[in-house]
Amino acid sequence: MAEFSFELNDDQKAVREWIHGFAADVMRPAAAEWDEREETPWPIIQEAAKIGLYSLDFYAQQYFDPTGLGIPMTMEELFWGDAGLALSIVGTGLAAVGVLANGTEEQIGTWIPQMYGDANDVKVAAFCSSEPDAGSDVSAMRTRAVYDEAKDEWVINGTKTWATNGGIASVHVVVAAVDPGLGSKGHASFIIPPDTPGLSQGQKFKKHGIRASHTAEVVLDNVRVPGSCLLGGKEKLDERLARARERATAGGERLKNAAMATFEASRPAVGAMAVGTARAAYEVALDYAKTRQQFGRPIIDNQGVAFQLADMRTRIDASRLLVWRASWMAVNGKPFDSAEGSMSKLFASETAKTVTAQAVQILGGNGFTREYPVERMHRDAAIYTIFEGTSEIQRLVIARTLAGVPIR
């Protein structure tokens, strides 16, 4: 087990500088253009693939970093570059985590490489959980998977929404109810292979922020997949459902569902994304405050501005420490007895919204225009308190954990 440290080692520092260089030289110059276009930035993804930044090998190396800091460090630097472009680059990772959290070794080895493709033919993947009537309340999920025993196939019907890369993905990971009577305990995750008949893209959403990232509905109309596409396998699913039925009859404890397992593994990473966006806005505001002259002096000489910057920096550093702690705990098998993962996501997300708003205020009228990036950063920051569990859901998870109440 790695000791928890606030200091990156030499290898991690080198990787951080490498990612930072890509973010500064490739992402930032292109950020405003792709935000306006609201299209998937395939050329940027391909540039990341060419240098090995968008690849299974790179993310596996960071994911299995024994310090736990590889992923949050990566996310912070990419999202410092630009949130929309970064989400296009890392969005595949949520589907990959879904397979890692629930799949067999064979499924991991078969499907995750297909999610990324290669530098000459990049691919993306999508994780599909939310539905029009089932966002935070995953127990209300209506997408249904029925097993056809004669053909050893699963038949899936339903509509997913808010899916990053939905419809354009090579591989989709879909969460569906296999036993609706068990609520969230009756869910399972399925791989939908490339070009599977019956899967189509529904509405593509025009968004307030992270516009370069593709977000759409995914429609599943009698989609048939082989039994081998059930993550974890049918024997494991049958055992889990049997235990859930026994506990439901006995009024016992609730079990984690497939979607929750994925979100629990990814929440500190989302916190790191928020830290990156907040840090970017803070740096713009700090530079502006040092150079902007009013009444014969830089505006940072005014206590009202200086104190805002002090609060911004303090919240950013506190957020990073919460994210690092949760990431270290996760990789070293430490239980989140106080919902430390949700704490990190909650505080960092709220920090991103607060800090980007303060940055706009410090820049004044300039901050409200698209001539300066803080306007875009402020729009992008709004998503962090919404996706992968709203701030309200994080508070609910934390409160129930502290109270010893089971989480649905």
Q: Does the residue 297 lie in any domain? A: yes
From 102, 122, 142, the end of a domain falls on 122
**What is the distance between the alpha carbons of residues 75 and 82, in angstroms, rounded to a whole number?**
11
Give me the count of residues in the chain.
408
- Tokens at residue 67, please? 């310090």
pTM of the model: 0.91
Q: Does the residue 265 lie in any domain? A: yes
Domain total of the chain: 3
Query: Both 191 and 107 in a single domain?
Result: no
User: Domain range spanning residue 264?
Assistant: 258-403
Task: Cite the active site residues.
Answer: 388
Query: Both 73 and 181 in a single domain?
Result: no
Query: How confident is the model at residue 388, as a pLDDT?
Result: 84
Query: How confident is the model at residue 255, as a pLDDT?
Result: 40
Residues 6+ away with beta carbon under 8 Å from 220: 143, 156, 157, 158, 159, 160, 174, 192, 198, 199
Query: Both 153 and 19 in a single domain?
Result: no
Q: Does the residue 98 lie in any domain? A: yes
Q: Does the residue 1 lie in any domain? A: no
Query: Both 361 and 245 in a single domain?
Result: no
CATH number at residue 308: 1.20.140.10
CATH number at residue 196: 2.40.110.10
Query: Both 284 and 302 in a single domain?
Result: yes
Query: Both 394 and 328 in a single domain?
Result: yes
Q: Does the residue 199 lie in any domain? A: yes
Query: How confident is the model at residue 249, as a pLDDT?
Result: 66
Q: What is the pLDDT along the chain (408 residues), one digit of tens a residue?
A: 667 777 899 999 999 999 999 999 999 999 999 999 999 999 999 999 999 999 989 998 998 899 999 999 999 999 999 999 999 999 999 899 889 888 999 999 999 999 999 999 999 999 999 998 866 666 678 999 999 999 999 999 999 999 999 999 999 999 999 998 888 789 999 999 999 999 999 999 999 999 999 999 999 999 999 999 999 999 999 998 998 888 766 654 444 445 554 565 578 999 999 999 999 999 999 999 999 989 999 999 999 999 999 999 999 999 999 999 999 998 888 888 888 999 999 999 999 999 999 999 999 999 999 999 999 999 999 999 998 889 999 999 899 989 988 665
Q: Give the per-residue SS3 of the chain.
A: CCCCCCCCCHHHHHHHHHHHHHHHHHHHHHHHHHHHHCCCCHHHHHHHHHCCCCCHHHHHHHHCCCCCCHHHHHHHHHHHHCHHHHHHHHCHHHHHHHHHHHCCHHHHHHHHHHHHEECCEECCEEEECCECCECCCHHHCCCEEEEECCCCEEEEEEEEEEEECCCCCCEEEEEEECCHHHHHHHEEEEEECCCCCCEEEEEECCCCCCCCCCEEEEEEEEEEEEHHHECCCHHHHHHHHHHHHHHHHHCCCCCCCHHHHHHHHHHHHHHHHHHHHHHHHHHHHHHHHHHCEECCEEHHHCHHHHHHHHHHHHHHHHHHHHHHHHHHHHHCCCCCCCCHHHHHHHHHHHHHHHHHHHHHHHHHHHHHCCCCCHHHHHHHHHHHHCCCCCHHHHHHHHHHHHHCCCCC
Cα–Cα separations (whole angstroms), residue 303 to 13, 226, 306, 361, 374 = 35, 65, 5, 14, 21
